[in-house]
Structure 1
Amino acid sequence: MRLVMKFGGTCVGNGANIRRSAELAKTFKDEGNEVVAVVSAMAGVTDQLAQAARRASGGEASFIDGFIDGLEERHSKAIDEAIRSSDIKGAIWSSLVKELNELKKLLTVIAYLRELTPRSNDYVLSFGERLCAKVFTGSLKDLGVNAVYMTGWEAGIVTNSNHGEARPLMDLTVKRVNERISRLLAEGSLPVVTGFIAADEEGIVTTLGRGGSDYTATIIGASIKADEVIVWKDVDGIMTADPKLVTDAKPLPRISYEEATELAYFGAKVLHPLALEPLMEYGIPLRVKNFFNPKAAGTIIEGGAEGEGVVKAVTMIKDVAMLTISGAGMVEAPAFNAKVFKSLSDADVNPIMVSQGSSQASLSVVIPRKDLAKAIKHIKEALTPNLYKVEDEDDVCVVAVIGSGMRGTPGVAAKVFQAVAKKGINVRMIAQGSSELNISFVVKEGDGSKAVEAVHQEFELGFKPKSLMSTSKFPS
């Protein structure tokens, strides 16, 4: 089989886990599979790089030496834990020192200029994956694997120039990635590719958005017509709910591309929301497996994986706010709506959820909480004063109930809201997509966990008690 494996988060959180991840990749290769590894930055490093870039842009340079020393110490320790051979350790360390020196110069220039462009920010962020993937490559070589390190652009991923949220130019990317990666696989090599980062047609470094290493893996998977993409996590698969909120949440054996996309969009921190797009065209399955329990089957995501049950999972988005706009001018709803959404676009605010009653007397929009102030400012500037009222609630969350079995099944919404009402929870806003894959609603943030648990329990999504599981309908 031809496999693309993505390792991130806990899987590369320290040198010991990098070694364990490398051993997993080697195990699959030794079983006769062709394997490509896609590697994220070590846990927390991307956030540290983003913060360092912001500090430097404010003209602060005194912290840079200490920051670089911290990265150096962490990755040096990772090398010691992940690699046994002193020769390989030395070679990898020498390569990392060059990367860190380049990063130091870049941050110093940003500090002197007091300017951080989207382009330079992407370049700063790229170092996390570049450092970690080199340690991963060294660990594989230490295990006797012919591993080849490649950045995303060296692997052939070409994007547009939308820095921070770049999108692949798939026709060109497929051609280049297939040529470069397939050649290495034919030679018996194991390519190790940096996740998250690529380059535009001019060779300028771009990033695919936070969590973009998943996207890198699926872009490569589609390009080389992989048999399967495996994303390694620290859970047994995609869960019916966040185990931190619902103690009896369980892994889903199988879900569809559409269901997984809805889950990703509505806050399930399992996949990048766009990660499945490249695979859907070719019908390539993606499997989420547990790094700590590799023998577990995990969750398979593929086309037509309807599975059992009306509802598959319940998830929640926190850190959001709700805006409600009402007023006399609402009688001209089309023009009014156009003004509201244009003002949000001008403010670079992405609506998460929209709801408007049939009377068109008001419009409610859920947005990221961090964008609330600028959204209100732009909307008020766009609308005629005194004709409209703009109200906001910054202590809400979105709960989403997801499952393809809801299509054409009567009574699902009633069951959802009855379950929530029994807990004394007031619903502030409701929306359902035309696909009938989800029902989403807004509640006060303090009620979010209770709402998720209530719906999860109502649809019996959790583990069944052993006494029920062992009951037979046939007499002994």
Structure 2
Amino acid sequence: MKILKFGGKSLANGKGLNQVTDIIAKRYFDNESIAVVVSARGNATNELLEILDLAQSGKPYERQFEEFVKYQTNNLEESLFNQEYATLAKLFEGVKLLGDYSEKIKDQIIAFGEVLSAKYITQTLNSKGLKAKYVDTRELIKTDANFGNAQPIDSISKKNVLKFFENKDEIHVVTGFIASTVNGETTTLGRNGSNYTASLLANYLDAEEFQNFTHVDGIYTANPELVSDAKKIEKLSFNEANELANFGTNILHAKTIIPLVEKNIPLRILNTFNPESAGTLITSEQTDEGIKSLSVLNNVSLLNLEGRGLLGKTGVDARIFRVMADNNISVSIISQGSSERGIGIVVNTDRASEALIGLEKEFENDFYTRDVNKITVDDNISVISIIGQDLSTFHKPYTALIRNKVVPILFNNTTTGRNISLVIKKQDLNRALNVIHGEIFGVTKKINIAVFGHGVVGGTLINQILISAKKIEERKDIKLNVFAIANSKKVLLKKDGNNENWREEISEKGIKYTITDVVNFAKENHLENLIAIDNTASKEFAQNYFELIENSFDLVSSNKVANTLSYDFYKKLRNTLDKNQKTYLYETNVGAGLPLIDTIKLLHLSGENITKIKGVFSGSLSFLFNHFSNEDKKFSEVLKEAISNGFTEPDPREDLCGNDVARKLLILARELDLQNEFDEISIENLIPESLRSLSTSEFLINLHELDDHYNKIKISQRQGNVLRYIGELSGDLQQDRGNLEVKLVSVPESSALGQLRGSDSIFEIYTESYGERPIVIQGAGAGASVTARGVFGDILRIADRG
């Protein structure tokens, strides 16, 4: 015989009922020997409890009762259930008159959920030509008088079941959850009671298999309603299932598993709505070691007991557990330090107030002596249990949580070291589950990106990400999700990411925003692994970095401003990053796509004494002086060529003034822990005084006025030399400040600087170890595509970290 159990969602009106009858009919016509155990249909138990509470408080409940009757009757004749409805009406009326009810009355009332369900299924099966018989388990399973959570008396119950099931020709439709005392008083079997009923029947009848039909395909690595990437587990051992049950997996409960273990009866979790699925099979066979699943405990509260006077005292734990035992309160987790100064315990929320009152009474004298400072309750928590987690690898999910700004309140592990539970704030649950699941089960890691600024560089970057995303996911198991695209006025927000039509959509559907709006969108949608990209040139936007960092965003920036504001701002930003354990990458601030900043960081971190850095920092000015030095052209002609090629800003004076080179030089200085300010940099402005105050259009008309000045400089050079506009950092770089200069120099054409071509940048890094032979980094130092690719590289570096 096989025991088939159907849950409330499977038995709900509509598709569920049809599926259940089809499954039962197929087994019947295939000549399988089966017994069917049913839960209350739909949300019947909660509805009965709601009506009960209304009756107790003297409030009208008739409308709710009518809706209950209508739903439970569905398409059948109401007269079939006249006796049940009449009894319920009398019970509710009695509760209303008394203004109270006992656990015994409560059991009588909620038992009707299963009674109505079993009678409904029996009638439906018989109407389809099947031979079905209604079975009221109150006549079979006998329990103690612990109403609400009664314990079966096995010797009597087993005898009754075996005698009743001698006739196997019919489909027995059995009420789950309910039983009765030896005196015939209705009892219920507590949480997961219908599964327990089915498990007991399987045990008593030596069933071939217990098949538990639910609304999901089996046991998953996490709740698929919370984690979209959750995977179905094909097979579990009873020990693993028991751990899952203990730590909150709703489909299982420890007491359900025990009767099956005793007789080695397999349990299969199946989906009513997908009967072709093989589900999850649970047997006595051991499976491979490793993490199996993430379970969640909700509706729990954390009680904290704190007291300096408890330090070194013994027996505190015993007093706490005595209170819990006296009040029949189960403790799921306890955590404390090496002393008993602070103790946290997790209990069901509906018992938390009772536990608090009991503890306050127990430690009343300790309050007076000030040995106990306070006892508090926090209802805003959830518990995530990692089933099968080994402590040796726990740092991986824990570090991932910290990176995502989820800090566990406490954690606890079993003595086997194979299961770890984390108590977290309830609002962090979804994000925490997805972060841990992605880290543990090797599913695609989702990186959620907000791009601020979609000009030439920003727009190029967005398109690069969209084009490359699929290959990166296939190659690296990293899914790049651009959930926000913003300019200075509008933002386009999409939880599941923007597509190639983003330009049109931000124009048509973009909304006004503040940084807080983007932060709140990420929180509300439980987005993990957040990266904010600053492709603006805005000083004002740099002020937003702090809010982004404090709300779990890592930063990537092509905007040089944040690193060249005051040194106080620079240090405050670093301190905020350290405090929040976030990353800020800005490789493109100096050399576009060249690995310059990272190289200098590594050298400095290794203790290498960098003595000087110099180079051509600007791709625009590199192009200008490379061509002017080597070609027989006027300076204005080469400048016009640079402008037409898009190598300069629309007003080329922004390049010629030297401020951009100065900012880049300052960034490198600060990487060496120098405290220089921008106004300390010596900058040679390439624009003659007479041209500095003109409008852009006037300046462009008068470019020829530059020719005589630069021609004189060119012809006055030593033979074989060329002009280069460089930045140079020198002096004693072990002190607080260095010498920063931006200047036009004449260098031998045979030197590294002199051999520069096109719009390339070049950097010479002189160190104590390398002596007079510098480390040279050279390559494309400008261009939207190169810069965007450099920003993209920084994104992937953050995404790929362990």
Q: Tell me whether 228-237 or 338-347 shows the greater mean CA deviation.
A: 338-347
Q: Are positions 1:358 and 2:338 aligned together?
A: yes
Q: Which residue of 2 aligns with 1:382?
A: 362
Contact 2:115-2:175 at 8 Å conserved across structures = yes
Contact 2:203-2:260 at 8 Å conserved across structures = yes
Deviation at 1:363, TM superposition (A): 1.5
Q: Which residue of 2 aligns with 1:286?
A: 267
Q: Which residue of 1 aligns with 2:167?
A: 184
The CA distance in 2 between the partners of 1:280 and 1:296, in whole Å, is: 24
Given the superposition, is the C-alpha separation of residues 334 and 200 from structure 1 closer, same or farther in structure 2, using an over 3 Å criterion? farther
Contact 2:438-2:444 at 8 Å conserved across structures = no
Deviation at 1:427, TM superposition (A): 1.9
Deviation at 1:329, TM superposition (A): 4.4
Deviation at 1:272, TM superposition (A): 3.4
Contact 2:47-2:68 at 8 Å conserved across structures = no
Match of 1:168 among 152, 157, 176: 152
Contact 1:316-1:397 at 8 Å conserved across structures = yes
Given the superposition, is the C-alpha separation of residues 423 and 267 from structure 1 closer, same or farther in structure 2, using an over 3 Å criterion? same
Match of 2:298 among 318, 321, 332: 318
Match of 1:69 among 58, 66, 71: 66
Q: Which residue of 1 aligns with 2:283?
A: 302
Given the superposition, is the C-alpha separation of residues 70 and 260 from structure 1 closer, same or farther in structure 2, using an over 3 Å criterion? same
Q: Tell me whether 325-334 or 435-444 shows the greater mean CA deviation.
A: 325-334
Match of 2:201 among 194, 207, 220: 220
The CA distance in 1 between the partners of 2:355 and 2:328, in whole Å, is: 9
The structure having more radius of gyration, on CA atoms, is: 2
Q: Which residue of 2 aligns with 1:11?
A: 10
Deviation at 1:333, TM superposition (A): 4.8
The CA distance in 1 between the partners of 2:395 and 2:133, in whole Å, is: 55
Deviation at 1:35, TM superposition (A): 0.5
Q: Which residue of 2 aligns with 1:396?
A: 381
The one-character-per-residue Cα deviations of 1:200-232 (angstroms, maximum 9, x if unpaired) are 111111001133111111111111010100111
**TM-score normalised by L of structure 1:** 0.87
Q: Residue type matched to 1:398 in 2?
A: V
The CA distance in 2 between the partners of 1:229 and 1:73, in whole Å, is: 32
The one-character-per-residue Cα deviations of 1:106-143 (angstroms, maximum 9, x if unpaired) are 11122222231111110000111111111100111122
Contact 1:68-1:100 at 8 Å conserved across structures = no
Contact 1:250-1:463 at 8 Å conserved across structures = no
Given the superposition, is the C-alpha separation of residues 199 and 311 from structure 1 closer, same or farther in structure 2, using an over 3 Å criterion? same
Contact 1:329-1:336 at 8 Å conserved across structures = no
Contact 1:7-1:232 at 8 Å conserved across structures = yes
Q: Are positions 1:419 and 2:400 aligned together?
A: yes
Contact 2:312-2:340 at 8 Å conserved across structures = no
The CA distance in 2 between the partners of 1:341 and 1:251, in whole Å, is: 38
Q: Are positions 1:140 and 2:120 aligned together?
A: no
Q: Are positions 1:39 and 2:38 aligned together?
A: yes
The CA distance in 1 between the partners of 2:111 and 2:377, in whole Å, is: 37
Given the superposition, is the C-alpha separation of residues 281 and 76 from structure 1 closer, same or farther in structure 2, using an over 3 Å criterion? same
Q: Which residue of 2 aligns with 1:109?
A: 94
Q: Which residue of 1 aligns with 2:432?
A: 451
Q: Residue type matched to 1:72 in 2?
A: V
The CA distance in 2 between the partners of 1:5 and 1:462, in whole Å, is: 33
The one-character-per-residue Cα deviations of 1:386-425 (angstroms, maximum 9, x if unpaired) are 211224433222110002xx5xx56132233223223232
1:455-466 to structure 2, matched below 5 A, reads 455-460=436-441, 462=443
Contact 2:51-2:65 at 8 Å conserved across structures = no
Contact 1:320-1:397 at 8 Å conserved across structures = yes
Q: Tell me whether 388-397 or 46-55 shows the greater mean CA deviation.
A: 388-397
> Could you say which structure has the greater relative contact order, defined with CA pairs below 8 angstroms and 6 or more residues apart?
1
The one-character-per-residue Cα deviations of 1:7-38 (angstroms, maximum 9, x if unpaired) are 12221111552232022012112222110000
The CA distance in 2 between the partners of 1:216 and 1:414, in whole Å, is: 41
The CA distance in 2 between the partners of 1:148 and 1:4, in whole Å, is: 15
Q: Are positions 1:98 and 2:95 aligned together?
A: no
> Secondary structure of the equivalent of 1:148?
strand
Q: Residue type matched to 1:69 in 2?
A: E
Given the superposition, is the C-alpha separation of residues 45 and 461 from structure 1 closer, same or farther in structure 2, using an over 3 Å criterion? farther
Report how many aligned residue pairs link the two structures: 444
Given the superposition, is the C-alpha separation of residues 462 and 12 from structure 1 closer, same or farther in structure 2, using an over 3 Å criterion? farther
Segments of structure 1 that go 5 or more residues without pairing to the other structure are: 80-89, 469-476
The CA distance in 2 between the partners of 1:14 and 1:422, in whole Å, is: 45
Contact 1:160-1:169 at 8 Å conserved across structures = yes
Deviation at 1:233, TM superposition (A): 1.0
The CA distance in 2 between the partners of 1:362 and 1:47, in whole Å, is: 38
Q: Residue type matched to 2:245 in 1?
A: A
